[in-house]
Amino acid sequence: RIIYQNRAGLGSLHSGGKIPLGLQRKGLRILVTGGAGFVGSHLVDRLIARGDSVIVVDNFFTGRKENVMHHFGNPRFELIRHDVVEPLLVEVDQIYHLACPASPVHYKHNPVKTIKTNVVGTLNMLGLAKRVGARFLLTSTSEVYGDPLQHPQKETYWGNVNPIGVRSCYDEGKRTAETLTMDYHRGAGVEVRIARIFNTYGPRMCIDDGRVVSNFVAQALRKEPLTVYGDGKQTRSFQFVSDLVEGLMRLMEGEHVGPFNLGNPGEFTMLELAGVVQETIDPNAQIEFRPNTADDPHKRKPDISKAKELLGWEPKVPLRKGLPLMVQDFRQRIFGDHKEDSS
């Protein structure tokens, strides 16, 4: 008898509440592109637990086999090493399209590849959805709002984006991906869903991916100073990954195309975030200021009234509850399973 170990999984965080009918349905064939990544692997856990058959397609640029290894040997799970920039032939009922590096350090590493992933990769997955009649969900981003002139951001806001900046491969790439998604919907009748995801954190994030939560947590655990970029007064709103996965599944199963903001409206300056990390891990952690990166958005906070009203969704895990769950996972991965941090 095989026991599937759910390493760094989220267990029953969401099993307490009432589960809407759509989320209980079982036995679909579902493609998750980018399913070996941070968000994708948590989504795969939920889909497998629901009884679906899941195909993960991933090129392992930022994803890791370790994130999905606990499903190896399960006949309802399949992992394919494949780059979505190349065409793909599979037969599925739904496609969750997540393949794309999400951290600025990773997406700036090879910007042309990032654009190809967003444009050609999304085109291929939409072509696939059209051929097999699958419902297609795009994981877009709050970055489509750029450095927003409206606060908080509603889905109706068109954004303030620099088309020739160092972040454009990602934010303009995702904007084009949204356009393609709507054009396949209007032009070819493909059933589509669009999620605009705001900063998300949790277990299985890449430890050194340069994002602020993973940086601060890893730095505090390693007794290094927390690197605050700029004056630290810029804001972000941090969502725990189980809330996001719940939102993505409700969106896929619901009747509305979107776009929908999926994020936690709790807004923090980077200095406040550093404070929460100090409280959670090490009150003596030092703070070190560094120059900020180009085109850094000054503030970001989702207006989630649309998702609340039409999907019946809102985040349940505040930063102070979610952060310790991530710290546990990072501590294990940084120091090994048995060694405890001295703090």
Catalytically annotated residues: 170
Q: Which is nearer to ligand UDP, 25 or 131 (CB)?
A: 131
Beta bridge partners of 63: none
Near ligand NAD by CB under 6 A: residue from 39, 55, 68, 192: 39
Query: Is 84 among the residues that bind ligand NAD (CB under 6 A)?
Result: yes
Give the shortest CB-18-to-ligand NAD separation in angstroms.
27
Q: Whole-angstrom Cα distance, residue 146 to residue 203?
A: 27
Query: Is 62 among the residues that bind ligand NAD (CB under 6 A)?
Result: yes
C-alpha distance from residue 186 to each of 66, 133, 144, 248, 295 (Å) = 39, 14, 21, 22, 33
Q: Which is nearer to ligand UDP, 151 or 256 (CB)?
A: 151
C-alpha distance from residue 55 to each of 67, 108, 227 (Å) = 14, 28, 38
Q: Which is nearer to ligand NAD, 39 or 134 (CB)?
A: 39
Question: 156 near 144, Cβ under 8 Å?
Answer: no
Residue 139 binding target from ligand UDP, ligand NAD, none, CB below 5 to 8 Å by type:
ligand NAD
* Per rule CB under 6 A, count of chain residues that contact ligand UDP: 24
Question: 196 near 261, Cβ under 8 Å?
Answer: yes
Q: Whole-angstrom Cα distance, residue 226 to residue 211?
A: 12
Site string for ligand UDP, 224-263 (x = CB under 6 A): ---xxx----x-x---------------------------
Residue ranges of the alpha helices (H) in the chain? 21-24, 38-50, 104-109, 111-116, 122-132, 168-188, 212-221, 241-253, 270-280, 305-311, 319-335
Q: Whole-angstrom Cα distance, residue 29 to residue 89?
A: 14
* Both structure tokens of 268: 């923090």
Footprint on residues 206-225 left by ligand NAD (CB under 6 A): none
Query: Is 94 among the residues that bind ligand NAD (CB under 6 A)?
Result: no
Task: Give the interface with ligand UDP as residue ranges (CB under 6 A).
Answer: 87-89, 104, 123-124, 127-128, 130-131, 199, 210-212, 215, 227-229, 234, 236, 270, 292-293, 296
Task: Give the interface with ligand NAD as residue ranges (CB under 6 A).
Answer: 33-34, 36-40, 58-63, 83-85, 98-102, 117, 121, 139, 141, 197, 199-200
